[in-house]
Chains A and B, each alone.
Chain A
Amino acid sequence: MSLAAEAFVSQMAAAEPWPDNAALYQPLKDDQILLSDCASSLAVQAYLRMCNLPVQVCCRANAEHMSPSGKVPFIHVGNQVVSELGPIVQFTKAKVRGHVSGWGFSSSDLQLCPEGSAVSPQGHSLSEGLDDVQRAEMKAYMELVNNMLLTAELYIQWCDDATAAQITRPRYSSPYSWPLNHILAYQKQWEVRRKMRAIGWAGKSLEQVYEDVGQCCQALSQRLGTQQYFFNKQPTELDALVFGHLFTILTTQLTSDELGEKIKSYSNLLSFCRRIEQNYFQEQERTFGPLPGRQSLL
């Protein structure tokens, strides 16, 4: 989308309150969705829950092709369709909260907000309280996660032949019949491998990728330290993104457990994931639906 169109869309977005029927689209949960897509989707869901914005998760086999940028997840809010965490964060910042009662805040369950969670009125961003240096750090760490964790996930899924043959290609093409499933799977693999070649990851071995993930987790663990969230007591989009990726890696089974082991060696990251899961996904499960986790890819 060009910049002028984006500015226009955010102007329109600012005019309307968040509707009740906002939907988030992702590939099929049990059969089709891959590690990287699930991580991105979970990050967006966590972010929206932190902002107290209700959204319905819809699983569609062609979610990737419906998305305006070709990447999942994407949200359908009112008249607009926005994909990927970065644009969604900007979109929600522009939104103005409508009438409180129109959303159902009167439910007694939701009035009790768990300790440490950010009760943010809509239209406010989670990173409002940060100063410039902190915001720079937050953006830098989000890029670190995107650059390292997401790229490593893509590499392991598509560039490692064992995983690609046993898990990724069958899962990616499961909704389609022969010969479309082969064509789409190999096309996607070719695209991802091309991208890896361009950014210089094609020459890496699997061990090097695991080491990079380990370094990334070490950096995140050192940054988190003993705090509850990355920036003081309030979660931000960085927390949502890190949670999405780490939780998905921990609860997904691949051909080897090494990724999960890397994360488990940092106890503060584990407790961070558990804390966000408890605060944002379990207590509101009745209203928002179950957590899309605990899947085993075998």
Chain B
Amino acid sequence: MAALMDLSCWGGDWGLPSVHPESLIVLAYAKFSGAKLSIQPVDWTWRTLTETVPALHCEGSTVTEPAQILNLLRKQQYNADYNLSAKQGADTMAYMAMLEEKLRPALLHTFWVDTKNYTSVTKPWFSSRCPFPLNFFVPGWQASTALSLILLTKGESPLNSIADVEAKIYNEAKECLNLLSFRLGSSLFFFGNTPASLDAFVFGYIAPLLKATLPNGQLQQHLKQLTNLCQFCDTILKTYFDVSTQGKAMGSANGDHLLLGRHVFYSSLHLLPGGLPVRQDAVDTNLQKLTQLVNKESNLIEKMDDNLRNSPQHRPCGGPSKQSSSLSEKNSTPA
């Protein structure tokens, strides 16, 4: 029963134990069910290319999809669903299907297909975690896989372009987030006070979206307005992953101190508002609007600064613009 199990997954950043949604699902479920996994991040190894992540190695066999991994963990008596009724189990299956059909295409689009996000967030992160020469083509290959999945499942005819499908998938994703928010209501987890596999799935999909800093994040903005979902993520992070503001990796890491040090180093370099715990307890709608207005103003001020700097009369000076950018980031934290 206490067989040694290794989990290969992508490493963590932005205050999360892993930035890969599927890996995060498995990690969360392991925490909920009390399974002891030894985590082997595939970062900086050739397994980024050769291995389908996440993968659980147990007694010689390897299981790859999150649903299959959860099944295996349940068979090993690590079951977070044992106190769910039959109807709740059925609801779990239904909601998982909804997440995969409605939310996952938009998530893939946000991280891998949208040009701004991909070039400024996803690709640098994944390239920096792959050894040479994989950093040149592993992110690109994952991006094309994501694009083909979106087009094949959501595109109406085989040769549709991504632009036609974009609006549709984002609408569906926003509706899905709203429905999840309705279902969660004001309770701590989806089925009472203890988390189950559905909570792991929702957390795995939502947490990277919530915590990453995306330049083009309309879905992220929508998610941030659903305060109960944000609180749900933070509760899980605080309770099960013991995350400090420096984005420390999960507690059951198996001696990868060097990697841990690198994570802390990288995440402390960025002024990431997503790394700070988001206090959503008493956010007034007016305060939100006010904050948005302030953000817009500071963006305008930044643009004016840029114009001033680019004009031939003034020499470039980096001081005031850097201060204003850090100010605007701090302002966007409570939003």
Contacts and interface: CB of A to CB of B under 8 A. Distances in A.
A219 B179 CA distance: 20
A205 to B, nearest CB: 13
B156 A70 contact: yes
A258 interface: no
Interface in B161-195: 164, 167-168, 171, 175, 179-180, 182-183, 185
- The number of chain B residues touching the other chain, given as a range, is 20 to 34
A198 B98 contact: no
Interface in B88-110: 89-91, 93-95, 97-98, 100-102
Nearest to B95: A140
A91 to B, nearest CB: 16
A137 B164 contact: no
A113 interface: no
A133 B183 contact: yes
Contact of A222 (B86, B100, B158, B164): B86
Given A195-B153, A198-B153, A222-B87, A141 B183 contact: no
B285 interface: no
A132 interface: yes
A223 B179 contact: no
Given A146-B101, A219-B93, A222-B87, A137 B183 contact: yes
A3 interface: yes
Contacts of A3: 167-168, 171
Given A135-B179, A144-B93, A199 B164 contact: no
Q: Chain B interface mostly helix, strand, loop or mixed?
A: helix
B305 interface: no
B65 interface: yes
A143 B183 contact: no
Q: Which of A68, A191, A222 has the most CB of B within 10 A?
A: A222
A219 B90 CA distance: 4
Q: Which of B97, B157, B185 has the most CB of A within 10 A?
A: B97
Interface string A112-151: 0000000000000000000011011101110110111000
Interface of B: 65, 86-87, 89-91, 93-95, 97-98, 100-102, 145, 148-149, 152-153, 156-158, 164, 167-168, 171, 175, 179-180, 182-183, 185
Can you list the 5 inter-chain pairs with the closest CB atoms, starting with the nearest? A219-B90, A136-B179, A140-B94, A144-B97, A147-B97
14 contacts: A70-B156, A136-B180, A137-B94, A141-B94, A144-B98, A146-B97, A147-B100, A195-B152, A195-B153, A198-B145, A198-B148, A199-B152, A223-B94, A225-B87
